[in-house]
Amino acid sequence: MIILWIPATLLVAFAVLAFTLRASRRSLPALVLPEGESLLSTPVQRLAVRALIGVSVFAVAAAAVVTHHGLEATWSHDITRWTVTGLLMAGLGIFTVYMTRVSRWMANDNGPCDERDRAIIATAGGGQAPAILVILAAWMIALTERYHVTQLVPSAALYAIFWSCIMVSMMALLVGVVIGYRRS
């Protein structure tokens, strides 16, 4: 039963994230273009979309392995646990490459980042905290209900909580960037 909370929690977290990001987007200035004209995608936007796809693929693959084997079985079998950790680390690596490249671009005045990119990146993290809070609340409810009798939460749940918070935080930032460009 607890394993079904992982996908349910992720869905709820992304619903809250979408709502929060839509609300925070309103703080960006509107960009008015002539009729029939649209902006080309920027390097930061393209990189964010690619990073979001990569991180999402690895997060979903890790969640699929855990869902297939079960949380306790994943934790107790070394190869399965290493596989899940490797998939999650690959997603973390993609996010690290994204952040490193964007940081370099923003530090360089002649780089591909302009004021629009800087404004979007500045507001993109607005949905991270609500998404993490939803994940933590869902985990707390699920674990409390599941282990109410024994009041002993297994270490495997702590592993899953940690990685779900990390992955949701990274994906929330990337979604914030992508949604920020859709508005402008």
Give per-residue pLDDT as tens, 33-44: 667 666 678 889
Q: Would you state the pLDDT for residue 58? A: 96
Please report whether residue 54 resides in a domain: yes
How many other CB atoms sit within 10 Å of the CB of residue 153?
Answer: 15
Chain segment 153-166, per-residue pLDDT in tens: 888 888 889 999 99
pTM of the model: 0.77
CB pairs under 8 A, 24+ apart, for 84-89? 84/163, 87/58, 87/59, 87/61, 87/62, 88/58, 88/59, 88/62, 88/163, 88/166, 88/167
Does 146 fall in a domain?
A: yes
Which of these, 22, 66, 19, 41, lies nearest to 167 by C-alpha position? 66
Containing structural domain, residue 158: 2-23+44-183
- Is 48 within 8 Å of 173 (Cβ atoms)? no
| pLDDT tens sequence across 43-87 | 898 999 999 999 999 999 999 999 899 888 888 999 999 999 999
Residue 5: the pLDDT is: 61
Q: Is residue 178 part of a domain?
A: yes
Domain count along the chain: 1
Virtual torsion, Cα 16, 17, 18, 20, nearest 10 deg: 80
Give percent above pLDDT 90 in the chain: 35
Residue-by-residue DSSP string for 84-136: HHHHHHHHHHHHHHHHHHHHHHHH-TTSS--HHHHHHHHHHGGGHHHHHHHHH
Taking alpha carbons only, the member of 120, 129, 118 closest to residue 20 is: 129
What are the counts of helices (DSSP H) followed by strands (DSSP E) for the chain?
7, 0
35 inside domain: no
Nearest to 134 by CA among 161, 103, 94: 161
